[in-house]
Amino acid sequence: MASSSSDIDKLFQAFGDLNKMFGSWENLLDAFGLLHMPTAQRYGILFGCLTFAGTIGAVLCLLAFGGSFQRIAEQEEGDVTVVHSHMIRSERALLLERLLDARERMAKFYPPLMVKEGMLSNLTQLLLNEHGTIVENSSKDDEKKDGDPRTSSSAVKRQFPPGYQANYEVAYRRCQDAPGGPALTGQPEARYEAYARGFAACGNYTNLSYRRSYARVYEAVSCDNHKTDDKYSKLFKERPQDIIGKLVRLEALEPDRHLNQVFDLTSGAPDLETKSYDPEEVWGFLEEGPFRNKQELAKSFVFQRKINEAAFAIINNITDKLVGVVLLTNDNPQNLGIQLEPPIMRPTMDGSQEQLEACYLLLDRLFALGYRRCQMSMDHQDAPARKLALRLGYTLEGTVFKHMIVKDSSRDSVLYGLLNSDWDKGARFALFKKLYGVAAAQADVRNRKKEEEMDEQKRVLALNAAKDKNL
């Protein structure tokens, strides 16, 4: 039968048992070695014990009366959840109706200039790799697998951008003199062809240092082994315009090709690799979304391009699956400025190497083309986006209050800037090191310096030769 005694009775009973065990107070002191101690030391130990007991009691009282025990119990029951930044954004007060009406009325005077359905914006075409187009089809046996303009069969007619063939030939010979690695067994020209493809694809308007660096990365990726050589040779024939990195490649975003994958990726539904999540984590800070169906997504800002914007699908090189979308907005060629938007990806991909490389590939090409400034602007409460900006090497420039109206509520924006001088003086090297390692970053710097020294030698020799000729 269970005892009905109270806790106080049990406590006194425990003290009584303790007294029976030792018999007397002297025996208890003797058991702990305190009986023969001087009185002053004995009282010191006593007061120390009392102080310890008082501290423990105070902590327990604070936990009990401060509600900590209650919160712990609620968390165990699942009543309390972690408050994400997008949930805080959703609690903002909506704008007054008169302000929303004014916005709608005034926007009618300036309809957005959109790119026609199925067409790529000029900015997208500027950033994509240059390539030759086949004018007249022929058998596969007549066509060289890598599309080498120097040795293509006469039965194949290709149109190449101005300077493409000359750049290809120069790069091919350069890689013959200094390949980036050992030749593939049975395919001695694979590295030369890959380097030349990467170099020529960058076009005439990017600087030489960028072309060489991009070509080296492309050579290393495509010629890692026979399997990768076959894969990237085939990919070059099918999609020569794609921008290739070690981890991901960038494809021009197209509804027919990418709509289904983007919707599945951002709808919050689980897949074989990740569990389900709240789609507000993706769309909470953006102007539109979440989307109920693919048709809504197709009509949104993600796929409807303005004339001064570009959009790219981020494709994982190993799985060939879409892992995100990255947008460029507010292109201002007159002032050589542009804005990079934080990539749209699953929450689990925030801060990933794939996210960083997608941004790096665009930033490196933008600055190589001559842009002076690339800014990022995001909601001041969007913690993942702000962290990404810092990881990319951006500098916080300030806060723009009442900058935008997003989902009928006011948004304060934080502005980050990255200048071409910042990129050249260290931001590029730091990001390259994060992505590819210290050894690769140092090798890239050495290669750049060596190539620049050779360019200077050639320039001086040509100048001296011209002087001698005039004499």
Least confident of 394-408, 410-424, 456-470: 456-470
Strand runs (DSSP E) across 253-394, as ranges? 310-316, 322-332, 337-340, 344-345, 373-379
Strand runs (DSSP E) across 333-436, as ranges? 337-340, 344-345, 373-379, 395-406, 409-419
- The pLDDT of residue 145 is 46
First to last CA, the chain: 122
Using CA atoms, how far apart are residues 234 and 236, in angstroms rounded to an integer? 5
* Band of residue 2 on the pLDDT scale cut at 50, 70, 90: very low
Residue 144 has pLDDT above 50, yes or no: no
* Band of residue 240 on the pLDDT scale cut at 50, 70, 90: very high
Using CA atoms, how far apart are residues 179 and 217, in angstroms rounded to an integer? 12
- The pLDDT of residue 74 is 60
Is 135 within the bounds of a domain?
yes
Using CA atoms, how far apart are residues 433 and 137, in angstroms rounded to an integer? 43
Query: What pLDDT, in 10s, does the model give residues 26-51?
Result: 676 666 666 677 777 777 777 788 88
What is the separation of C-alpha 384 from the centre of its chain, rounded to a whole number of angstroms?
10
- The pLDDT of residue 137 is 55
Number of independent structural domains in the chain: 2
Last residue of a domain, one of 228, 244, 260: 244
The residues facing 329 across adjacent strands are 339
Is 66 within the bounds of a domain?
no
Query: What pLDDT, in 10s, does the model give residues 205-235?
Result: 999 999 999 999 999 999 999 999 999 999 9
Q: Which of 30-44, 63-77, 159-173, 205-219 has the highest mean pLDDT?
A: 205-219
Q: Is-contact 398 425, C-beta < 8 A? A: no
Using CA atoms, how far apart are residues 235 and 146, in angstroms rounded to an integer? 10
Is 444 within the bounds of a domain?
yes
Helix (H, G, I), strand (E, B) or coil at 376: strand
Is 137 within the bounds of a domain?
yes
- The pLDDT of residue 142 is 46
Query: What pLDDT, in 10s, does the model give residues 422-453?
Result: 999 999 999 999 999 999 999 999 999 999 89
H or E element, residue 255: helix 255-266
Is 207 within the bounds of a domain?
yes
Give me the domain span that covers residue 461.
437-471
Neighbouring CB atoms inside 10 A of 296's CB total: 13
**Amino acid identity, residue 160?**
F
Residue with more model confidence, 297 or 131: 297
Using CA atoms, how far apart are residues 348 and 103, in angstroms rounded to an integer? 36
Neighbouring CB atoms inside 10 A of 118's CB total: 8
- The pLDDT of residue 239 is 95
Residue 140 has pLDDT above 50, yes or no: no
Return the C-alpha torsion angle 264, 265, 271, 273, nearest 10. 160
The residues facing 1 across adjacent strands are none
8-state DSSP, 332: E
* Band of residue 53 on the pLDDT scale cut at 50, 70, 90: confident
* Band of residue 283 on the pLDDT scale cut at 50, 70, 90: very high
Residue 393 has pLDDT above 90, yes or no: yes
Residue 257 has pLDDT above 90, yes or no: yes
Last residue of a domain, one of 179, 212, 244: 244
Residue 20 has pLDDT above 50, yes or no: yes
What is the separation of C-alpha 245 from the centre of its chain, rounded to a whole number of angstroms?
13
Using CA atoms, how far apart are residues 368 and 424, in angstroms rounded to an integer? 10
* Band of residue 143 on the pLDDT scale cut at 50, 70, 90: very low
Last residue of a domain, one of 244, 267, 294: 244
8-state DSSP, 156: -
Residue 162 has pLDDT above 70, yes or no: yes
And the tokens for 13?
A: 């009973």
H or E element, residue 157: strand 157-159
Q: Which runs of consecutive H residues, i.e. helices, occur in 93-238?
A: 97-107, 122-127, 164-177, 190-201, 208-222, 226-238
Is 296 within the bounds of a domain?
no
And the tokens for 170?
A: 């120069």
Alpha-carbon Rg of the chain, whole angstroms? 33
Helix (H, G, I), strand (E, B) or coil at 306: strand
Least confident of 3-17, 95-109, 237-251: 3-17
Residue 63 has pLDDT above 90, yes or no: no
Backbone phi, psi, residue 158, to 5°:
-125, 145
Is 272 within the bounds of a domain?
no
Backbone phi, psi, residue 47, to 5°:
-65, -35
- The pLDDT of residue 459 is 86
Is 82 within the bounds of a domain?
no
Q: Is-contact 379 136, C-beta < 8 A? A: no
Cβ neighbours of residue 240 closer than 8 Å, sequence gap 6 or more: 129, 131, 132, 147, 197, 201
- The pLDDT of residue 32 is 65
Q: Which of 135-149, 269-283, 361-375, 438-452 has the highest mean pLDDT?
A: 361-375
H or E element, residue 158: strand 157-159
Q: Is-contact 263 297, C-beta < 8 A? A: yes
- The pLDDT of residue 400 is 96
Least confident of 19-23, 117-121, 127-131, 189-193: 19-23
Name the average pLDDT for the chain. Answer: 87
